[in-house]
A and B are shown apart, each in its own frame.
Chain A
Amino acid sequence: MAILKMQRISIYALSRYSKDVLETLQRMGVIEIEKCNIEDSVFYQTDSTPLSTSFLRSASVMVQAQEIITEYAKEKKGLLSSLEGRTPLTVDEYEEIAQKNPEALRLAYKIISYKKKITENKAKIIAYNTRIDALTPWQNLDVVMDTGSTASSKFILGSFPEELCEEEIRLKVAEVSPETELFDVEVISKDSNQTCVFVVCYKGVYDELLSALRKIGLILPSATTPSNPDSEIKSLKSRIAKREELISECEKAIASHLNDLPLLRFFEDYYVMKAERYSQLDNISYSPHTFVMTGYIPKKDSEKVSKVLFERYGAEVELEDAEGEDVPVLLKNNAFAAPAEGVLLSYSAPSRFELDPTAIMAVFYYVFFGMMFSDAGYGLVMSLACGFALLKFKNMEAGLKRSIKMFFYCGISTTFWGLMFGSFFGDAVSVIFNTFIGQPAPVIPGITTPIWFNPTVGSGPTTLLMFSFLFGIIHLFAGLTLQAVNYIRQGNFIYAIYDDLSWILVVTGAVFALLSTDMLSGMMGGFKLSPVFLTIGGIMAGIGAVLILIFSGRESKNPLKRLLKGAYNLYGATSYLSDILSYSRLLALGLATGVVAGVFNQLGSMLGNSVVGVILFVIVFIIGHLLNIGINALGAYVHTNRLQFVEFFGKFYTGGGRDFKPYAVNTKHYNIKEDI
């Protein structure tokens, strides 16, 4: 439970080591490099954008090659492969594979060129097919298509956009030009929307005939060939077959590189890392022989890093404790609380001047999640699934691992509350015994009977409601206490009394007073504090209210304004009321899980004790409970977050810190880590 101490680090070394230093730092991943703004007559800065862009281009070549391979070859992937994370590599392994750089580039370009060939050939095939389509109507023509003329005859090829026979064409020509007679028409092919004809005529009537034919709708053919159409089509088809063979060869060649995918992935990462390294070069100041680099480093790592840098590169490292607003924030928590860091960071990183509330929040987080989900069966399912994933996939990404660990703990808490309330897949055990075994279920504490009480029957809901409010008040007080601690840490002890103790007094006093009246005793099952608590509560609330009235407006110099501000803040008591009532969701969502689970159990057992009945029960049980787990886990997650973000953080948390983002290996497939 802490925000780690940060140090400012300045590294001085010889220029020729700058890239090696950057590479080492990248693998260590513990320094956030800051732009070094020394620029004068000695120091200058470089612009390596062109270089890093060219590396990014190489990386994208690798990506392209991978995409092409996976397009033509199926890669086997497990259902849960997204959990697997990056493959770890030691530095030696990394260096060894990095030797294959030229080979990988050649391979990538080869694969891309195969793809290009495929595209080109496909375009050609399309062109051939178009030509075949245009020539097919002329397939029956038994002479070459651009048959010229003989000594006394000429030829016309063309088509009409309708179905015509030879006589009809002759008739039509006679209508338009009665004198033209010396010609012969042969229909080559016809269908409902075109008729292709071959016309032979006496040279002398050629012009008249052509114009007459045009008038009746003759269109000259769009595609001609110097050879016989039939043989042309045949040769086109054989060319298509050849191209197709080429394509399938290329496809096979591409698919045969399936096993090279890891190599391509490696070099994608390789170039991405290189690009990142070069872009960091811009943050360094150079003199002719040396360079300076500055950044932030967690104090715990600084010793080791300086040692490594000195031993390997003779670098001089300067460290000083970092203070101030702009210093990035890195959290450190124990294994139990650390998984909840993600929740905190998704709200905001703590500012440098406050306590890291993760540890306290984590306890409430697990408890509240468990109360809302509250089913031993569901909790077990969740914990087992998360535990399995954690054991199976060791290399899981840190963020994902954190969330899964968090849900593992939430699952344990859910199981605990499920046993407390006697819910195991709802009332599944009782239903199974009553329906299929025909006798009442044996008493198994936690599974068939609640260890604490059943919140769904009798006075259960009201009891749980009261406890929800109690937990809520504890949660809110924890928030106020954290604010008090922050005040005290900053030396403002008195503020802790004004702003935090005052509210704790008001709320506790009000609760005491309420509990000693008749109003709530009905809901509390007759529980009532002795009347003396009414007085005690009244006094406590009174002292608290006076403190708020007088001191909460202390920033205003004008006494009247100060009192008015105090009064306004006192009116904030209503917000405490709504905050506490908001915790009723612990009850509502808890009941929702249990009752809906019960609905599914009842639905499943509707057909009674028969073969069909058992089958129905199994199906409804699996589908129904999975659905219920999904929707209620989502509800529990969202509303647990809400209780933390709105009710809890609202009491004390400033946030607004800058998350520590170290310069590190930021890759997709491989994780190269140098332990320090």
Chain B
Amino acid sequence: MELGLFLALLGAALATFMAGIGSSIGVGKAGVAAAGVLAEEPSLFSKVLILMLLPATQGIYGLLVAFLILQGVGIIGGGAGEISNLEGLLYLAASLPIAASGLFSAIHQGKCSVAGIHTVAKKPDTMGKSLIIPAMVETYAILALLISILAINGIGALGI
């Protein structure tokens, strides 16, 4: 029995749902803070919305990696060939950086976003600075995304 396709799919699933969990938690936390601020200062809507959406990107990175994997194994776009166990495992491994890094960075970015929302509530003109602090955390999700993309791209080229 060939497990290759299953393993690759598992990788795609992991990338989507782990990064998705992270983003949900992050955006959720920030959303709670944002709603609180809006009760007092409705005019800050666009600012807190931006801060709130910062941890949403990890979920998208996860989706992106999952999509690349599905495309790589031919589930999307047709032409699904034989996927060897090794190839499947490689895809699974390639999904891990964004899965794990997405999960944790989104949660912690969410915390920074909450803090940023509080800062903006008190001093709306510190928006620029408040935006940069959560963006620091996101760097690590971006690095993970990069490795996941490069790895998936490389597996295709290996021709196993």
Footprint of B on A, CB under 8 Å? 343, 346-347, 458-459, 461-462, 465, 581-582, 584-585, 587-589, 591-592, 595-596, 598-599, 602, 631, 634-635, 638-639, 641-642, 645-646
- Whether a CB of chain A sits under 8 angstroms from the CB of B145 is yes
How far is it, in angstroms, between the C-alpha of A30 and the C-alpha of B43 when the chains are bound?
29
- Asked if B128 and A465 sit within 8 Å, CB to CB, the answer is no
Q: Which residues of B contact A581 (CB under 8 A)?
A: 143
Q: In the complex, what's the smallest C-beta–C-beta distance from B106 to chain A, in angstroms?
A: 13
Smallest CB-CB separation from A644: which chain B residue?
B132
B157 touches A639 (CB 8 A): no
Cα A343 to Cα B129 in complex, Å, equals: 10
Q: Is the CB of A346 within 8 A of B61?
A: no
Residues of A within 8 A of B67 (CB): 595-596, 598-599
Contact B64 A646 (CB under 8 A): no
| Cα(A639)–Cα(B127), bound, Å | 14
Chain A residues near B56 (CB, 8 Å)? 631
Q: A584-B143, A589-B142, A642-B136 are in contact. Are A461 and B68 (CB under 8 A)?
A: no
Instruction: Please report the C-alpha to C-alpha distance between residue A526 and residue B153 in the assembled complex, in whole angstroms.
Output: 18
B132 touches A646 (CB 8 A): yes
Which residue of the partner chain, among A461, A587, A591, A642, contacts B132 with CB atoms under 8 Å?
A642
Per the bound structure, the CA–CA distance linking A639 and B138 in Å amounts to 9
Question: Is A346 touching B139 in the complex (CB atoms < 8 A)?
Answer: no
B146 part of interface (Cβ distance < 8 Å) = yes
Cβ 8 A contact of B53, one of A584, A587, A631, A641: A631
For A343, A462, A589, A592, the residue with the greatest tally of chain B CB atoms inside 10 Å of its CB is: A592
15 A-B pairs within 8 Å (CB atoms) are namely A343-B128, A346-B128, A346-B129, A461-B150, A465-B146, A584-B142, A592-B57, A592-B60, A592-B145, A596-B64, A596-B67, A631-B57, A634-B54, A642-B136, A646-B132
Chain A residues positioned under 8 Å from B63 (CB to CB)? 596, 599
Cα–Cα, bound, A242→B157 (Å): 86
CA separation between A585 and B143, bound complex, in Å?
7
Q: In the bound complex, do residue B150 and residue A638 qualify as a contact, i.e. CB atoms below 8 Å apart?
A: no
Given contact pairs A582-B139, A645-B132, A591 touches B64 in the complex (Cβ within 8 A): yes
Query: Closest residue of chain A to B57, judged by CB?
Result: A635
Docked CA distance A465–B147 (Å): 11
> Nearest Cβ distance between residue B157 and chain A, in whole angstroms?
7
Residue B77 at the chain A interface, CB threshold 8 Å: yes
Is the CB of B50 closer than 8 A to any CB of chain A?
A: yes
Cα(A589)–Cα(B58), bound, Å: 11
A588-B149, A599-B67, A634-B54 known; 7 other A-B pairs, CB under 8 Å? A346-B127, A346-B129, A584-B143, A588-B142, A592-B61, A602-B76, A639-B135
A385 to chain B, nearest CB (A): 15
Given contacts A595-B64, A596-B63, A631-B57, contact A585 B128 (CB under 8 A): no
- Bound Cα distance from A591 to B50, whole angstroms: 21
Q: Which residues of A contact B149 (CB under 8 A)?
A: 461, 588, 591
Chain B residues positioned under 8 Å from A631 (CB to CB): 53, 56-57, 60
Cβ contact of A585, chosen from B60, B77, B131, B142, cutoff 8 A: B142
CB distance from A535 to the nearest CB of B (A): 31
Given A461-B153, A465-B150, A641 and B131 contact (CB-CB distance below 8 Å): yes
- Complex Cα gap A669–B139 (Å): 42
Chain B interface, DSSP helix/strand/loop, else mixed:
helix
Is A638 a contact of B145 with CB atoms below 8 Å? Answer: no
Asked whether B132 lies within 8 Å of A641 as measured between CB atoms, the reply is yes
Size of the B side of the interface (Cβ < 8 Å), in residues, is 31
B102 to chain A, nearest CB (A): 12
With a cutoff of 8 Å between Cβ atoms, the chain A residues found around residue B61 in the complex are 588, 592
Query: Are B129 and A592 touching (Cβ within 8 A)?
Result: no
Set of chain A residues within 8 Å of B153, measured between Cβ atoms: 458, 461-462
In the assembled complex, how far is the CB of residue B30 from the closest CB belonging to chain A, in whole angstroms?
Answer: 13
Q: How far is the CB of B56 from chain A (nearest CB, A)?
A: 6
Q: Kindly provide the distance from the CB of B136 to the nearest chain A CB, expressed in whole angstroms.
A: 7
Cα separation A461 to B147 with both chains bound (whole Å): 11
Give Cα A602 to B153, complex, Å: 20
Identity of the chain B residue whose Cβ is nearest the Cβ of A639 in the assembled complex? B135
Contacts of A638 in B (CB 8 A): 54, 131-132, 135, 138
Q: How far is the CB of A171 from chain B (nearest CB, A)?
A: 60
Instruction: Return A195 CB to nearest CB of chain B, in Å.
Output: 48
Query: CA of A635 to CA of B63 in the docked complex: distance in angstroms?
Result: 16
Minimum Cβ distance to chain B for residue A427 (Å): 11
**What does the 1/0 interface line of B45-69 toward A look like (CB < 8 Å)?**
0000010011011001101100110
What per-residue 1/0 map shows which CB atoms of B116-158 lie under 8 Å from chain A? 0000000001011101100110110011011001100100010
Point out the residues of chain A lying under 8 angstroms from B132, CB to CB. Answer: 638, 641-642, 645-646
Closest residue of chain B to A578 (Cβ to Cβ) is B139
Q: Are B135 and A596 in contact (CB under 8 A)?
A: no
Minimal Cβ-Cβ distance residue in A for B76:
A602
The 3 A-B residue pairs with the shortest CB-CB distance in the complex, in nearest-first order: A346-B128, A642-B135, A585-B142
Inter-chain contacts of B157 with A (CB < 8 A): 458-459
Q: Kindly provide the distance from the CB of A586 to the nearest chain B CB, expressed in whole angstroms.
A: 10
Bound Cα distance from A611 to B23, whole angstroms? 36
What is the CB-to-nearest-CB distance from B55 to chain A, in angstroms, rounded to a whole number? 11
Closest to A523 in B: B150
Contact between A347 and B129, CB atoms less than 8 A apart: yes
In the complex the two chains form, is A347's CB within 8 Å of B57's CB? no
Say whether A602 contacts B146, CB under 8 Å.
no
B133 to chain A, nearest CB (A): 10
Given A461-B149, A588-B145, A645-B132, residue A602 in contact with residue B77 (CB < 8 A): yes
Task: Given A584-B143, A596-B64, verify A641-B150 contact (CB < 8 Å).
Answer: no
User: In the complex, which residues of chain A have a beta carbon less than 8 angstroms from the beta carbon of B64?
Assistant: 591-592, 595-596, 599
Q: Which residues of A contact B125 (CB under 8 A)?
A: 346
